[in-house]
Structure 1
Amino acid sequence: MPSDVEYSPVGEALGLRDYWLYVWLRRAAVIAAHVTGLGLTLLISLLSRPGTSLFSWHPVCMSVAYCLCMTEGILLFSAEGSPFCFKSRKCKVRLHWFCQALVLIAAATGLGFMLASKNVSELPHLVTWHSWLGISTLAATVLQAACGICMIFPKLLPLSSPLKLKLYHATCGLVVYLLATVTVVSAMFSDWFQATVKGVAWWGFLLLPLFPALVVMNQITNAHLPRKKITR
């Protein structure tokens, strides 16, 4: 029995009158998301002063993993404003895998520095909401990577339609990215961050991770949102 669901970008339903405005707004949003992810990573790295302590490497590694690599690994599939828009689909998939591998390496390294810092300071582990969210995000990232492997080897999962596997992978990826965004935001409520950044600047940092998350959410839902076929 044929499926009653098709996968089509939401933007295809837009009228010609608003087409160019829609394209340029999306292009500007994607470019701004690239700049925001890179800028947030650089700012956190500067604030952390890497090398001054074991803990100082933790924010650096985690921001590189989730604010930069994961964001770029998803946005490279965007047709608007992506520096890789001229690449083939096969090349984009390879770049996506490379970025996600960097996410796992950087996140595991950041976790290692945090564990080492806690052990040296003889402080307890997993006592804050941020730590629990961080562990959950890392576990979800590993599971999403396993789902990505199944995308390359679809026979590993007994699914009848490759489109379903693609939809599951995109949906789980969105959940992981949103979970990572919540984890990054929760880090800004930590004692270290509030002692480092204060006043209006703190509110600015709090809002920065939300913009790339909105762009990523819009990209994934537009590309993979199921829509009922219209029968006449």
Structure 2
Amino acid sequence: MALHQLMRAIGLFVVATVCYISVHNGTSLFTWHPCLMSVGFILLMSEAIVAFSSKSFIATNLKYNDRLNLHGLLQFSAATLIGIAFYSIYTHKNNNNYDHFASRHGNLGFTTCIMVGGTTVGGIAARYSGLFKKSIKPAYLKIIHSTFGVMTYIMAIFTFCLGLDSEWFRSQSNDQVVSVLIYLAGAVALLALIKPLISIATKLRNTFKTR
């Protein structure tokens, strides 16, 4: 629980700092992009991951099915904000006749958004895996979703860090602040992924033992 509280504290600091830097000179369609992406990736998606843990303070007294529902709600909320953030930057570039996906951040960001959508759909399939048990074992479907979800989250954090390393964001802050935010975003990801990685390894070991 202490690690998750630390994750939240760091995450809140990162999001608050990114939002302040993004809007302190005024708001626009463009500034909505880093603000919403930071909330979606750093706060909601991280919280959705740790919602599975009984040691997470918001899930301590919840039953397993309730933790699954909480995970789904948080993930759906994250996906919604990420979708709005993508729309805001896409519309901003259209309005100003800028090229789309002209940088590593843009290309990876587009890929990440597709992965988020795929993970969300996969989560629904895993939640109701019993309906597909004639085609694939529920245990396999859940492992696939968990693994793809971790990959999506890692991709999201990497894309977020590339956004911090962009020319625009550096022009709004300075190199030292950017470096600190990148390291802290990495720390949030590490703290969020400890339990899921252990869980995936355990499920894989148990699944292959029963074959």
TM-score, reference length from structure 2: 0.89
Cα RMSD over matched residues? 1.9
In the other structure, the counterpart of 1:99 is 74
Give the 5 Å matches for 1:20-169. Answer: 27-49=1-23, 52-154=27-129, 155-156=131-132, 159-169=135-145
Contact 2:41 2:156 in 1 (8 A): yes
Q: Distance in 2 between matches of 1:57 and 1:202?
A: 19
Q: Distance in 2 between matches of 1:53 and 1:145?
A: 29
Amino acid at match of 2:12: L
* Cα shift at 1:160: 4.1
Confirm or deny that 1:213 pairs with 2:160. no
Q: Deviations over 1:120-149 (max 9, x none)?
A: 221111100000111010000111111111
Structure 2 gap segments, 5+ residues each: none
* Cα shift at 1:170: 0.8
Identity of aligned residues (%): 24
2:154 counterpart SS class: helix
Q: Summarize the Cα distance change of 1:98–1:125 in structure 2 as closer, same or farther, 3 Å threshold.
A: same
Equivalent residues, number: 204
Contact 1:65 1:106 in 2 (8 A): yes
In the other structure, the counterpart of 1:21 is none
In the other structure, the counterpart of 1:193 is 169
Structure 1 gap segments, 5+ residues each: 1-26
Contact 2:45 2:78 in 1 (8 A): yes
Q: Distance in 1 between matches of 2:134 and 2:11?
A: 37
1:208 counterpart SS class: helix
Amino acid at match of 1:39: F
Q: Deviations over 1:8-62 (max 9, x none)?
A: xxxxxxxxxxxxxxxxxxx332211121222212221111118621101111111
Q: Distance in 2 between matches of 1:156 and 1:43?
A: 44
Whose helix fraction is larger, Structure 1's or Structure 2's? Answer: 2
* Cα shift at 1:182: 0.5
In the other structure, the counterpart of 1:227 is 205
Q: Summarize the Cα distance change of 1:92–1:81 in structure 2 as closer, same or farther, 3 Å threshold.
A: closer
Amino acid at match of 2:102: V
Contact 2:49 2:193 in 1 (8 A): no
User: Based on CA coordinates, which of the two structures has the bigger radius of gyration?
Assistant: 1
Q: Deviations over 1:182-227 (max 9, x none)?
A: 0011111111111112142221111011112112322112122133
Amino acid at match of 1:195: S
- Which structure is richer in relative contact order (CA contacts within 8 A, separation 6 or more)? 1
